[in-house]
Structure 1
Amino acid sequence: MSNMRAITMMLMSIWLSLAAMAQPSKVKHVILIGCDGFGAYALPEAEMPQLKKLMQDGAWSLTARSVLPSSSAVNWASLLMGAGPTVHGYTEWNSAVPEIRSADTSRFGLFPSVFSLLKEQRPNAVSALVYSWQGIGPLVEKEATTIRVAGKDKDDFCVDTAITIIRTQKPVLTFVHLDEPDGVGHNIGHRTPEYYKELQKVDARIGRIVKAVEDAGIAHESVIIVTADHGGKGKGHGGKSLDEVQIPWVVYGRGVQKGHALKRPIITYDTAATIAWLLKLKMPESWRGLPVKEAFR
């Protein structure tokens, strides 16, 4: 019996060693950039040299998917909370409270987000939340964020603020929410010249954030993820067309494979799971997301 126990312990030790080897080491910072209403369909033809350079030097998918409905709050919640709406309870485009009782709650009173995991497990770690659309605020526990700035629909202000925070505070986790190109999609339409023109501005903003990470001297120990909540069709979204459902998912930085087109299915709640995995945070059983390990060497 003692021999069997020794063998079991040895096998467990080997398994843990292999698991540790599979996980990228020395990732100390994750920067998540969310572009509202950015349909994956637009990226191949868009003039976005900054984002395409991240793709060239990183891993990417243009077939990642939102949850349904393909709308904002329900998807930003899913992206940050590692689960879908039937679990976390936020089901509408502008959900500020769960329409369905959440299946789990953190000690901060909301369904566990990647921010609350970081706060609970690494209480001294600095986190930053900078958001342009005010609907982001109710989705992240105030007590779980170290720095929190509401940009009030001003993307350039959000980028300027995020740059200052990254350079001076070097947060472990930074989420920058940008409201475009969703505004142009609603006002003028998806697949329009104006929409593609707006993506050039989005690209410049992404490039400035990446430069801030380099200027802060943390690029060698950082992972940057660029994604969206949903795409769009005509002047709206929320439906089931691929233009509305498929979103870009681009990851770049420490341990990431270069120029790798990701093959496995990615759902937006896999983003939170990937961040938790990178930062070595234990995920709650209520989460449904899976780390996108294929992206890493």
Structure 2
Amino acid sequence: MICNSRTLNFLFLISLFASCKKASEKSPAGIEHVIVIGVDGLSPDGIQKAKTPVIDDMIAKGSVKWNVRTVLTSSSSQNWASMIMGAGPEQHGIISNDWEMDDHTLPPIVQEADGRFPTIFSVLHQAKPEAEIGTVYHWGGFGRLFQKNALNYDRNFSTEDSTATDFVRYIKEKKPVLGFVHFDHVDHAGHHGGHGSPEYYQSVAKADSLIGQILKGIRDAGIEDNTLVIIWADHGGIGYGHGGATPQEAEIAGIFYGKGVKKGYKVEQQVYTYDLAATIAFALDVTPPYAWTGRAVKSAFEGFSEPEKLWLGEKMVIQPVIYPERKLYQQAGGLFTTETAIVKIDTKAEKGVTRFTTDGKDPDQSSPEYKVPFTVNKTTVVKAKSFDEKGNASLLSTAYFRLVKAGFGNGLSTHFYQGNELSKIPQFNTLKKGSSWISPEFNISRDQINKLIEKGNESFALQFSGFIQIDNPGKYTFSTQSDDGSKLFVDGKVVVDNDGNHGVMEETGSIELTAGRHPIRVEYYNNGGGFWLDAFYKGPGVSKQLIPADKLFVKQ
């Protein structure tokens, strides 16, 4: 090849253009401040159903990812740690809410001088020693997760209002390069009133007003035009707790607003809670450590596209709602002592068609189309899916309609025992038996338990015992979903062992059974906080369902 001066100049310009293009893609331009607003226990449902005009405006004028996946378990310490450490528990070693610097089993895969995994605070401090970095937090436990010498400002307050007031003052006075605030009151409401309760939604509305104060503080500080604001959470919740592996608990919303952010954009790339630290580093043009596994959510920013070779899988449409819908720990459907129950299904997918089944099979496009409410006159599992115009399906919605008639001896003998910091199923003969009653099924009434437990002591245990009617012989699989521990016995044998302190978790086990009535027992305990128990079974001719009241008897 013969190169003249014109050719060389042309090649030089191409090289220069490529170099400039590459440099411009390194990080968004003009972001000088990042403000992270962390709200403990804030679920996508909370944002969508509570009165949140501030957050709604931020979403309309910014970018959002509605299903950011948390790390497991979906509890606070490991998720707040993952947010600021850019990696999961396997890397940073904070595997439970009980983690302490001087009391843990898994060391971080790499650590700084203080023994902690590198955080966005320490990484930013090392890269930009003069940068102002500060955090104000409502939950004191957050303060044990990061390197103290990396921050210029570190404060803990006992209320959400005092936390917000101090953080706003800090922004105005110091104009931090990175400011991180943590609010805990939404999580408190989830544990006290239940996720999805009026109390919970009111707490989300309160968070929205506090976020409004912070945005005003940013404006008053004169840094609005070069500030990126991110809203994040550690987990969602279900019923009165969290910690389990359900979408309600393990998905949160990530919201990006301000300088350099696309307007009205829904992020497509998969996002995980540990991507927050990488995104902050990306926005501030800081190289993250190799030990981090998080990836920056670049597609939320102007000038950056979704990742190459992004595999989105099958498109999921919004799933339908079956009424009576799920409420707190109560599964959709319900227990009915009337002759019939009415089933109503609401299609949420735009231009979608909902199809349903009542025989236990998953619906497909050949299943009956739902058009009007219908009745069932026996225990029935109703399943529904919505399909869009292109045939894309929603997730499955399931409701359990249990019908039982009075006067047939149905129910379970139930006994209450007050505990004291229980951590496993107790030896019941060592505890003092409290109240006893007949339960229709294996479940717990929060209102009833709250009247029985000692003030300030939410540790208790329950024993349910009775007989289960098996109509067809064969192999049966039982499962419990519980928070905390549970064990299920059939014919005196442990079939399901779901013991130990944990959030809502499901364990299963199987047993061969003959036709007829068999002794069945569930033992349960709660360490403290939220509690939940459901028991399921499936077998010959029986799709997986809550063990229904009409199959449970007090006597053989």
Q: TM-score, normalised by structure 1?
A: 0.93
Q: 1:232 — aligned with what? A: 237
CA spacing shift, 1:101–1:65, aligned 2, 3 Å: same
Deviations 1:91-123 (A, max 9, x none): 112423353110112344310000001111111
Do residues 41 (structure 1) and 42 (structure 2) align? no
Normalized per residue, the structure richer in strand is 2
Whole-angstrom distance in 1 between the partners of 2:232 and 2:281: 16
Q: TM-score, normalised by structure 2?
A: 0.51
Task: State the AA in 2 paired with 1:169.
Answer: K
Whole-angstrom distance in 2 between the partners of 1:280 and 1:147: 22
Structure 2 residue runs without a partner (length 5+): 1-11, 303-556
Do residues 124 (structure 1) and 130 (structure 2) align? yes
Deviations 1:9-62 (A, max 9, x none): 999876553233122111110000000011112221221000111001100011
Q: 2:228 — aligned with what? A: 223
Normalized per residue, the structure richer in helix is 1
Whole-angstrom distance in 2 between the partners of 1:292 and 1:137: 26
Q: Show the 5 A alignment for 1:106-121.
A: 106-121=112-127
Whole-angstrom distance in 1 between the partners of 2:240 and 2:135: 28
Do residues 67 (structure 1) and 71 (structure 2) align? yes
Whole-angstrom distance in 1 between the partners of 2:161 and 2:52: 17
Structure with greater contact order relative to length (CA < 8 Å, sep ≥ 6): 1
Do residues 138 (structure 1) and 141 (structure 2) align? no
Structure 1 residue runs without a partner (length 5+): 1-8
Do residues 26 (structure 1) and 33 (structure 2) align? no
Kept in 2: contact 1:108–1:143 (CA 8 A):
no
Kept in 2: contact 1:108–1:116 (CA 8 A):
no
Whole-angstrom distance in 2 between the partners of 1:11 and 1:112: 39
Which residue, 262, 269, 273 being the options, matches 1:268? 273
Whole-angstrom distance in 2 between the partners of 1:184 and 1:104: 36
Kept in 2: contact 1:132–1:178 (CA 8 A):
yes
Deviations 1:239-266 (A, max 9, x none): 0110001101000011100010111111
Kept in 2: contact 1:58–1:260 (CA 8 A):
yes
Do residues 183 (structure 1) and 188 (structure 2) align? yes
Do residues 53 (structure 1) and 65 (structure 2) align? no
Task: State the AA in 1 paired with 2:247.
Answer: L
CA spacing shift, 1:234–1:12, aligned 2, 3 Å: farther
Whole-angstrom distance in 2 between the partners of 1:183 and 1:282: 36
Q: Show the 5 A alignment for 1:269-288.
A: 269-288=274-293
Task: State the AA in 1 paired with 2:55.
Answer: L
Kept in 2: contact 1:96–1:135 (CA 8 A):
no
Task: State the AA in 2 paired with 1:289.
Answer: G
Task: State the AA in 2 paired with 1:256.
Answer: V
Kept in 2: contact 1:78–1:268 (CA 8 A):
yes
Instruction: Report deviation, 1:175.
Output: 0.3
Structure 1 consecutive aligned stretches of length 4 or more whose deviation exceeds 3 Å: 9-16
Do residues 173 (structure 1) and 182 (structure 2) align? no
Alignment length, in residue pairs? 289
Query: RMSD value over aligned CA atoms?
Result: 1.7
- Between 1:102-111 and 1:55-64, the stretch displaced more is 102-111
